[in-house]
Each structure stands twice: as structure tokens, then as C-alpha cells.
Amino acid sequence: MPDYLSKLTPDNAAMLLIDHQTGTMLGVQDIRLDQFRSNVLALARTARAHALPTVLTASYAEGPNGPLMPELLTMFPDAPVIYRPGPIDAFDDPAFAAAVEATGRRKLIMAGVTTDVCLYFPVISALARGYDVWAVYDASGCWDTMSELTSCMRMVQAGAVVCNWAVVTAMLQADWRRQEAAQHTLGIFGEHLPFYGMLANNLAHRTPGASAGE
């Protein structure tokens, strides 16, 4: 049985970012496009902060789906980028399956541009291959809210852990005493969770000498 009770760590997880292409992203309607983009970048920055093995993939990039987000290619210049000529399920592409296997990790953090297809299909395939899967719903999206909700339900029924990007970021940080990683995590939270940036600003500008209760 897959082990869903153990936590993600920088030593046991890999990041799969699936089909975050600038054509298909325009069809996501259950979340504002600017928020969707921010969530994807927050998740990607988390992977980079903890040096997670990362695999990028795109489907039918020469067609209407369009190219991958340029920020992802800049962020991961050495990561394998699998351009799938036909398969809709990323795991149906042998090169993608091989790249995931090459990470040596059995816990996969996965996000896909559309939750109902680009994420759901490879999540099911990964589970069938014995991987533990953490499906990040807010770095994925759908045409409407009902499609998003039912897709998340199906992934839970199949055995995936469905969560948001902040859960992944916090779990990988694990302890604020990990100072080097903490600086990256604080930066990610501050930029991509606006309320957290405001909290940090409030703390930085507390009146000198004031007690916590004042």
C-alpha cells in the first residue's frame, strides 16, 4: 500500500509541473488568471528552494495549447522538459515516465494546467505505478468550479492527497530553524500570500520596546 501518512521532505519528493502552457491557461475560469499564475510560480519556487528534482512537460505546444510559461523554463534551466507529440496523459509518453523514474523519488508533487485532464490523468497513472501523489489543486485549474471540485473528489477517491501549494511549502520547510530554507520560504509566502507579507511588515515595524500585548 502507498504510504500517505509520512510527510513530504526535500529528500523524498519530486515536482512534476504539467502543461502550464500559455494557451491552455487562458481557459481556466474557476480562479483568476493572475492568482493561478501566482500559485504556479509559488509552487515552482518551493521546488527550487528545496532543490527538488523537477520535471516539466508540455502537450501539443506547437498548436493552440501554446508554449510553457517562460518563468518555469527560466527557473529550471537544467530540468528535463518533455514535449509530448501526442499523448494527453503525460505518463503515456515514455520519455516523461522515464524522466520521473530517473528522479529516484516515490512521492510526487503534481500540478497540471487543467485539473480534470492534465492533472487527473497522470495522477491516476502515477498511482497505478505505485507512486504516492500529492495533487496541488490551486496550481491547477478548470473551466468551471464544479469540474474542479469533482476532479478533486475523483483524485481523493483514487488515493491521492489533494492540497494547496501552501501546504506543500510549509511541509517541506517543516522547521523554521532551517534558516537557509526559511529565508526562501518567507520570501515565497510574502510574495504569493499577500496577507503573510503584511504580517511580516507589521512585525518589522513594531514600536521599539513594545511588548507583544501592547
* Active-site residue list: 118
The set of cell numbers assigned to 29 is 475560469
**One-character DSSP codes across 139-196:** GS--SSHHHHHHHHHHHHHHT-EEE-HHHHHHHHH--TT-HHHHHHHHHHHHHHSHHH
DSSP helix/strand/coil, 82 = strand
User: What are the C-alpha distances in Å from 25 to residues 51, 115, 141?
Assistant: 26, 11, 8
